[in-house]
Amino acid sequence: MTQSTSTMEMVRMEMPERSSEILLRSAVICLTAFLTVVDLFATQAILPSLTRAYQVTPAAMGFAVNSSTMGMAVAGLVVSLFSQRIDRRLGILVSLALLSIPTALLAIAPDLTTFTMLRIAQGLCMASAFTLTLAYLGEECSAADAGGAFAAYITGNVASNLIGRLVSAAVADHLGLASNFYFFAALNLAGAVLVYYTIAQTTPMMQMGPAARSPFAAWITHLRNPRLRAAFGIGFCILFASSALSLTSTLSSCARRCRLARWSSASSISCSCRRL
């Protein structure tokens, strides 16, 4: 009886420590996710201002801003091919540090072509950090902790979508477009510092049992699984609809502002002519 009571007391003492540890870990994972992809969404909020700054159509600016997704698609495939050879911590750290370079250079991009190339470079860095972080969580978290870890990472992604847009719009409105990009470059460096102090040094998991297959063979195996195909399809539809609606609303708002600006300019010219 005494032994049972002492065991229960020890469990009660460990529960608060365990809860605080999980909360801190979730907060770090969430913040890392936020700082990884915040650049993807933040620039969309200032699309009307960018359209005026570069004197291009909303459609052209929309393509340039969202060209980062092309870099993300390429980086995701490349990282999956060489993931077994990439140190997780070093890869995430380098990706976030490098991400700050094209982000800062966007502040001085002279034309739309340069802007587009820098956005693609951002996508390459963001997807590399994103993919390696997910691999790290999958390898280092236990089965019991994996669900909470991935939920915290997705929460950070969603938060970056909303908060990133609000912060970007506020910074650009008060400090200008250039200061906006410098601010987010600083956030990228903050993410690298966070990873440096919070992610432990690890080595990629080695395949157990049969010899490792080529990545293409693994992809074919996954695609033959009907449950995985369904999961891939659901994920594609959700992200496609979310991105399409976001881009459409942003472009519509940008087009309305451009029409209002032209109408205001034409009205001013008309008034000046009448005075003359």
pLDDT at 259: 59
pLDDT-derived band of residue 206, with 50, 70 and 90 as boundaries? low
Average pLDDT, the chain: 80
Q: What is the mean pLDDT of residues 224-232?
A: 86
- Nearest residue to 98 (alpha-carbon basis) of 65, 64, 62, 132: 132
For residue range 146-174, list pLDDT tens digits in order: 888 888 998 998 899 889 999 999 999 99
CA–CA separation, 193 vs 93, rounded Å?
8
- Counted residue by residue, the chain has a size of 276
pLDDT at 243: 64
CA–CA separation, 108 vs 105, rounded Å?
6
**Residue 167 near residue 46, CB atoms below 8 Å:** no
For residue range 31-57, list pLDDT tens digits in order: 999 999 999 889 988 988 999 999 998
pLDDT at 275: 52
- Nearest residue to 33 (alpha-carbon basis) of 173, 187, 174: 187
For residue range 92-147, list pLDDT tens digits in order: 999 999 999 999 999 999 999 999 999 999 999 999 999 999 888 888 887 778 88
